[in-house]
Each structure stands twice: as structure tokens, then as C-alpha cells.
Amino acid sequence: LLPPNAFAHLRRQAAALAALRPRMNDCCRHHSPLPCARRAWLKGLSRFCREESSVKTGQHRCCQRGGAR
């Protein structure tokens, strides 16, 4: 649990991981789980980076690399 007045960047990270979990679970039942997991990861990372770029804080180092955009 995080305090309600701070740590927004950690909340965004936690939300991105929480959204990724059901997609990864679906990939475990997929006929080709690794490509499915890779797509799920990239989609989740891309969404996280879009959200990170919409706030005035510095972007996470994963987003600065440019691979997820």
C-alpha cells in the first residue's frame, strides 16, 4: 500500500504490471506462449510509456530507450 499523496510513478508501474498479469496467464494457454508473451509485454510496456509521457515527471528508463514507442 502506498500513501495517497505521493508515489504516483510507483502506482503507474504497479498498474502496468497488474494489467499484464491476465494477458500473461492467457499466453500460458496459447498454442505458442512465447510469442504471445512477447506481444503482451510489448503492448503493456507501450501503454505504460504512453502514460508516463503524459505526466510531467521524467520517463522511466525503459521508455527512454524508445523501443516500446
Locate 13 and state its grid cell.
508501474
Query: Which phi and psi angles does 47 have, rounded to 5°?
Result: -65, -45
Measured between alpha carbons, how far apart are the two ends of the chain, in Å? 30
d(CA 55, CA 36): 30
- Confidence band for 53, pLDDT divided at 50, 70 and 90: confident
Asked if 44 contacts 23 with a C-beta cutoff of 8 angstroms, the reply is yes
Task: Please give the residue that has the higher pLDDT: either 61 or 18.
Answer: 18
Poorest-pLDDT segment among 19-23, 34-38, 53-57: 53-57
23-52 pLDDT, tens digit each = 999 999 989 999 999 999 999 999 988 888
Percent residues over pLDDT 70 in the chain: 86
